Amino acid sequence: MQAIIETSFDVIYLITVLTLGFLMIRKGYPNKEPVLFGVMAVTLGLGDAFHLVPRAYALCTSGLAHFTYALGMGKFITSITMTAFYVLLYYVWRTRYHVQGRRGLTGMVYLLSGLRILLCLFPQNAWTSVDAPLTWAIYRNLPFAALGMLILLLFYRSAAQGQDRSYRFMWLTIVLSFAFYIPVVLFADTIPMIGMLMIPKTCAYVWTVLIGYLDFKKQARLGQ
C-alpha cells in the first residue's frame, strides 16, 4: 500500500512541477520573470527526481534496503538542486520587485548557498551509508535554513509593501516547507513515521510553483 500511495503522489508531483515549469519557460519568453520562475520549477522537479525515482523503484521492487547507494546519491543531488532552487527564487524576487544593487544581500545569498554546497561535498556526510551521521545532516542544513529564512523575509516584506496579492503567501510556502522538513532531518532515523512529513513539505513546494504559474496566467490574460 505504501508503494502505491507514495509512488502515485511522487509521480503526480513531478509531472505537475515540471509541466508548469516548462509551460512558463515556453510561453513566458521573452519576459524574464516567468522564464526564471519556470527554470526554478524545472530545477526543483529534476532535482527531486534523482531521489524520488529510485525511491519509487525501490518501493515497488525489493525494498529501500537494497538501493542504499542510489537513494543516497539521489539525496545528495537533491540537496544541491534545492540550494540552486532558492538562489533562483532570490532572483525571482529581484526581478519581480525591480531590485537594483544590493550587492551585500546578493553576497549573503551566495555565501550561504556556497557554504551549504561545500558542506554537502564533505565525505563525512556518508550519503550512501545506512548510518549517515545526524551531526553532518545538521551542519549542512544550518546555512540552508538561514538561506530559506532570508528569502522568506524578502518576499514577506516586499509583498506587504507593494500590496502584491499574487505573491502574498510566497513567504508562507517557505515557512511550511522548512517546518515539515526540519523534523525529518532530526528525527526520521529514530521515528520512521516522521518521514511522512515529506508529503506536506512537497505540497508546500507545489504551492510555491502554483503561485508563480497562476500569476503568470493572470498577467497573460491582462496582456491580451
pLDDT tens readout for residues 69-111:
999 999 999 999 999 999 999 999 999 999 999 999 999 999 9
Looking at the chain, the whole-number percentage of residues with pLDDT higher than 70 is 99
Going from the C-alpha of 32 to that of each of 35, 91, 178, the distances in angstroms are 5, 10, 28
Say if residues 76 and 127 touch (Cβ distance below 8 Å): yes
- The answer on pLDDT for 51 being more than 50 is yes
d(CA 119, CA 116) in angstroms, rounded, equals 5
HEC letters along the chain: CHHHHHHHHHHHHHHHHHHHHHHHHHHHCCCHHHHHHHHHHHHHHHHHHHHHHHHHHHHHCCCHHHHHHHHHHHHHHHHHHHHHHHHHHHHHHHHHCCCCCCHHHHHHHHHHHHHHHHHHHCHHHCCCCCCCCHHHHHHHHHHHHHHHHHHHHHHHHHHHHCCCCCCCCHHHHHHHHHHHHHHHHHHCCCCHHHHHHHHHHHHHHHHHHHHHHHHHHHHHHHHC
State residue 73's pLDDT score: 96
Top-tier CATH class for 2-223: mainly alpha
For the chain, give every domain's residue range.
2-223
Q: Average pLDDT over the chain, rounded to whole?
A: 94
Q: How confident is the model at residue 64 (pLDDT cuts 50, 70, 90)?
A: confident
Say if residues 149 and 116 touch (Cβ distance below 8 Å): no
For the entire predicted model, the pTM comes to 0.95
d(CA 94, CA 102) in angstroms, rounded, equals 10
Average the pLDDT over 39-55 and give the result: 96
